[in-house]
């Protein structure tokens, strides 16, 4: 019998990831995450893809988003409950796993609530770098909730956006954004209406949370050359754009089968032409062809982005020594002898004592630091 | 703004669950878990069900198994890698989550490797109590790997099985089982062939691990009145029974759409009649009608059993004070202010310090005990 390899799982808590991002810096995190996403989108054909598996209820949705290449499997658990903020909980909460395809060992378990906001913003920037006019300087940001600061920073650091025009139906949300980004070089301009925010913008991001078929952008608001980054319409019955806004634009998507169900695209007939973004990134399809063209990224969030984000988190956590090991999987001297774990004469499993000691050391350090 | 409720997740590690089962006792654990399973199967219509989502690779499969009722959502991550034992890893490893449907908060994260072996055995017993002849005393157990002891104990404690006849192509597996169950009142009889083990048995359990279309039971081995508990054939291309064994029996399944793809049933035409077990448990369909009838439970493992097992683990852990809290989800004073976690001026999140202190105390106790 060969010695048992460690089947331990690296765990990154919500606090671990916050520490990681603070230490790496928001700009560098977004930039590196965008690189990971782009790298994975460039090898799109390597992945076994499926639309997410959703469980809908009256108050929201819980989804599982699996994806795999030949080496690494990833999945994300994520909910969407628009009324959660009324009880003090985030609308979107998530966690995810990276596993080894060869053995099935779950190698990383990480929070993905904060990470999802970062990866969505990084994805928006990857798309906009391919689709928006070069030298875009002004962003309209409609919806100033939990994800908005990440969007603003991604466009600032990754595209050179200098001015962000803000609108939210909840003025407190806009106030929060103004306060959170006061330390940056961005010009932040609160607006009284969507129309005021959008007028003259190079890029428009919609990132609202209501689970309704809303019409936040109408065709009269769209100006030639704009790039529209539609983030909040990401679920059946949850849309943000008037169908004619899509009809008047060149529309790009992550994974077409999923976006047809979940994106703003759900209002258009099945033969409405769209282009998958990976094809543009690889040079196999045309993105923007001229300055007056309206481009639209109908973003719903695809499992591959979480795969990329988890890869980044694993690498960055290893660089910085963040996180701890947990025993999701039992350690067995003989892998066919699972019963030894509960045999009345069972001796303590030595590796667990090792784990406890290691975790203890980690936690003592954390307790001292807190 | 209302105060933020705790969005912490109860975590049960592999060692926690081993401790729990040892303290509750294997017999009581199997008995209570069978009660939880039966209780949930009796309200079958309350659940939003789907076949599991599988990602197949050359060496195995990784699956997600979600299920939900109006109150609680559950999913299991589970792999199946038959060659894992060659590198010292279990063939099947698993973990899972219970979440609140109303908010999406993941309330429990638990190991499910040990738990899956227990729940599969409890499920086998629930089915056999409904389908096997009363006063069954002799079990043939074909496949003496990781799950076999749990099967033997479930049939011993929940059905009154007194004698278990053992066969495995690997004699070391049988030796391990003999040693692990030496402390019980079971008569354990190693056999030289499947035929020898099966002859005269009241119940036959097949629980082999090879991912092949094997033919472990052939029609000539089947005697009138036998109950066949087919556990190991649970995946496309992984079967144990000759098709004529199913043709000669009354066949019962967990969730028909899944079993048609994954069970031994995969070799039979789509119109081959089967009965879902919940209908028998509820008295809506007939189980065994006479002593000479051959009954067959084509078990593949359904998400509802993991839902039940997770419910049991949560309740038992609470009774015994086992486990610790982890921060999968960030705690936010303002749920729309996710960015506060990485704002340059961000103060430490107090609740994480609380968690660290609590986990520290738990681990100190564990380290002392080890």
List pLDDT tens digits, range B261-282.
999 999 999 999 999 999 999 9
Cβ atoms of A181 and A53 closer than 8 Å = no
Span A197-221, pLDDT tens digits: 999 999 999 999 777 888 999 999 9
**Interface residue of B27, B339, B343, B364 to substitute, partner A, most A CBs within 10 Å:** B339
User: What pLDDT, on a 0 to 100 scale, did the predictor assign at position B341?
Assistant: 95
Best of A25, A59, A89 to mutate (most B CBs within 10 Å, chain B): A89
Decide if B6 touches A, using CB distance below 8 A. Answer: no
pLDDT beneath 50, residues of chain A? 1-4, 347-357, 359-360, 362-363, 366-367, 369-370
Rounded to whole angstroms, what are the CA distances from A194 to A13, A175, A236, A267, B286? Answer: 37, 16, 23, 22, 64
Q: Are B183 and A345 an interchain contact pair (Cβ–Cβ within 8 Å)?
A: yes
> CA nearest B54 in A: which residue?
A66
End-to-end CA gap in chain A: 44
Phi, psi (degrees; rounded to nearest 5) at B46:
-75, -10
pLDDT at B128: 98
Q: Does B330 touch chain A (CB under 8 A)?
A: yes
Select from B5, B64, B104 the Cβ nearest to the Cβ of A64: B64
> Which among A306, A293, A297, A294 has a CA at the least distance from the CA of A264?
A297
* pTM of the predicted protein model: 0.89
ipTM for the whole complex: 0.88
For residue A56, which of B45, B46, B70, B109 has the smallest C-alpha distance?
A: B70
The predicted pLDDT at position B175 comes to 97
Contact A114 B356 (CB under 8 A): no
Q: Report the chain B residue with the minimal C-alpha distance to residue A65.
A: B64
Q: Give me the sheet containing B187-190, strands edge to edge.
A: B187-190, B163-167, B138-142, B203-206, B227-230, B295-298, B250-253, B275-276
Nearest to B92 by CA among B216, B240, B7, B207: B207
Question: What SS3 state is found at A187?
Answer: strand
Predicted confidence band of residue B165 (pLDDT cuts 50, 70, 90): very high
CB B114 to CB A352 under 8 A? no
Alpha helices in chain B (DSSP H): 14-24, 26-41, 113-131, 148-159, 171-180, 194-198, 243-247, 256-262, 277-281, 303-320, 350-369
**CATH fourth-level superfamily of B9-114+305-369:** ornithine cyclodeaminase, domain 1 (3.30.1780.10)
pLDDT digits (tens, 9 = 90+) for B355-368: 444 544 544 554 45
The Cα–Cα gap between B279 and B173 comes to 36
Per the document, the length of chain B is 370
User: Quick check: A72 contacting B, CB < 8 Å?
Assistant: no
pLDDT at B219: 97
Q: How far apart are CA B171 and CA A200, in angstroms?
A: 78
Across B195-206, average pLDDT:
98
In three-state secondary structure terms, B218 is: coil
Query: Mutating which of B329, B331, B333, B334 best tests the A interface, going by the most A Cβ atoms within 10 A?
Result: B329
At a CB cut-off of 8 Å and minimum separation 6, what does A263 contact? A230, A233, A234, A239, A253, A298, A299, A300
CB contact under 8 A, A77 and B75: yes
Q: Which residue of B has its CA nearest to A4?
A: B88
pLDDT over 60 at B299, yes or no: yes
Q: Does B12 touch chain A (CB under 8 A)?
A: no
- Rg for chain A, CA atoms, rounded: 22
What is the model's pLDDT at position A212? 81
What is the mean pLDDT of the segment spanning B6-19? 94
Flag if A59 and B102 touch (Cβ within 8 Å).
Answer: yes
Residue with tokens 């839902």: B307
The mean pLDDT of B178-188, rounded to a whole number, is: 97
Q: Which residues of A are catalytic?
A: 234
Residue B346's pLDDT is 52
Partners of residue A331 in chain B, C-beta under 8 Å = 14
Say what the pLDDT of residue B364 is: 53
Report the pLDDT averaged over residues B319-330: 96
H or E element that contains A295: strand A295-298
Mean pLDDT of B39-49: 97
- For chain B, the farthest-separated pair of C-alpha atoms sits apart, in whole angstroms, at 77
How far is B106 from A95, CA to CA, in rounded Å?
A: 9
CB pair distance less than 8 Å for B14 and A329: yes
Within 8 A of A106 by CB-CB distance, chain B residues are: 77, 93, 95
Nearest to A109 by CA among A305, A351, A324: A324
Residue-level pLDDT at A365: 52
A27 lies within 8 A of chain B by CB: no
Chain B, 296-325: which have a CB under 8 Å from a chain A CB? none
Taking each helix axis from N to C end, the angle separating B148-159 and B26-41, rounded to the nearest 10 degrees, works out to: 80
Tell me the CATH class for A131-301: alpha beta
> Which is catalytic among the residues B234, B264, B298, B306?
B234
Contacts of A340 in chain B (CB under 8 A): 180
Instruction: Kindly report the CATH number that applies to the domain delimited by B134-301.
Output: 3.40.50.720
Contacts of B355 (CB under 8 A, 6+ apart): B8, B325, B326, B327
CA distance B82 to chain A (A): 9
What's residue B211's pLDDT?
Answer: 73
Tell me the average pLDDT across B339-356. 61
CB-CB neighbors (< 8 A) of B341 in chain A:
14, 18, 21, 114
At B352 the pLDDT is 43
Q: How far apart are CA A169 and CA A82, in angstroms?
A: 15
User: Which of chain A's residues have a Cβ under 8 Å away from the Cβ of B70?
Assistant: 57
* A35-71: pLDDT as tens digits: 999 999 999 999 999 878 999 999 999 999 999 999 9
Q: Where are the domains of chain B?
A: 9-114+305-369, 134-301
SS3 B59: coil
Interface contacts A/B by beta carbons within 8 Å:
310
The reply to whether A338 touches chain B by the CB within 8 Å rule is yes
Interface touch A90/B338, C-beta < 8 Å? yes
Residue A45 CA to residue A159 CA, distance in Å, equals: 27
Kindly state the tokens that stand for A78.
Answer: 């994520």
Mutation target to probe the A interface, by most A beta carbons within 10 A, among B2, B9, B98, B103 is: B103
Q: Is pLDDT above 90 for B147?
A: yes
pLDDT confidence of residue B358: 52
Residues of chain B neighbouring A22 (CB-CB closer than 8 A): 342, 344, 346
């Amino acid at each position: 019998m060969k010695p048992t390899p460690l089947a331990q799982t690296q765990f990154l808590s919500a606090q671990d990831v916050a520490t990681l991002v603070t230490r790496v810096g928001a700009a560098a995190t977004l930039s590196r995450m965008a690189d990971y996403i782009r790298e994975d989108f460039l090898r799109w054909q390597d992945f076994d893809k499926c639309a997410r598996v959703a469980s809908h209820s009256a108050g929201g949705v819980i989804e599982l988003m699996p994806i795999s290449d030949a080496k690494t499997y990833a999945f994300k658990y994520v909910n969407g409950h628009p009324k959660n903020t009324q009880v003090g909980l985030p609308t979107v909460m998530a966690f995810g796993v990276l596993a080894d395809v060869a053995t099935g060992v779950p190698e990383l378990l990480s929070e993905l609530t904060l990470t999802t906001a970062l990866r969505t913003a990084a994805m928006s920037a990857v798309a906009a770098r391919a689709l928006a006019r070069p030298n875009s300087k002004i962003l309209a940001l409609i919806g100033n909730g939990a994800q908005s600061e990440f969007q603003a920073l991604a466009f600032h650091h990754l595209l050179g956006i200098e001015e962000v025009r803000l609108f939210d139906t909840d003025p407190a949300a806009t106030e929060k954004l103004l306060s959170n980004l006061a330390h940056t070089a961005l010009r932040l301009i609160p607006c009284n209406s969507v129309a005021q925010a959008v007028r003259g913008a190079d890029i428009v991001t919609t990132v609202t949370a209501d689970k309704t078929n809303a019409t936040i952008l109408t065709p009269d608001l769209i100006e030639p050359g704009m790039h529209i980054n539609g983030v909040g319409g990401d679920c059946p019955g949850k849309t943000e754009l008037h169908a004619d806004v899509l009809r008047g634009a060149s529309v790009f998507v992550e994974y077409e089968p999923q976006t047809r169900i979940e994106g703003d695209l759900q209002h258009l007939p099945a033969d409405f032409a769209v282009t998958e973004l990976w094809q543009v990134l690889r040079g196999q399809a045309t993105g923007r062809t001229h300055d007056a063209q309206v481009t639209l990224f109908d973003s719903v969030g695809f499992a591959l982005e979480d795969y990329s984000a988890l890869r980044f988190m694993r690498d960055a956590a290893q660089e910085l020594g963040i996180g701890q090991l947990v025993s999701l999987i039992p350690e067995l001297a003989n892998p066919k002898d699972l019963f030894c774990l509960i045999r009345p004469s069972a001796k303590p499993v030595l590796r667990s004592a090792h784990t406890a000691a290691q975790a203890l050391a980690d936690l003592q350090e954390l307790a001292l630091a807190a």
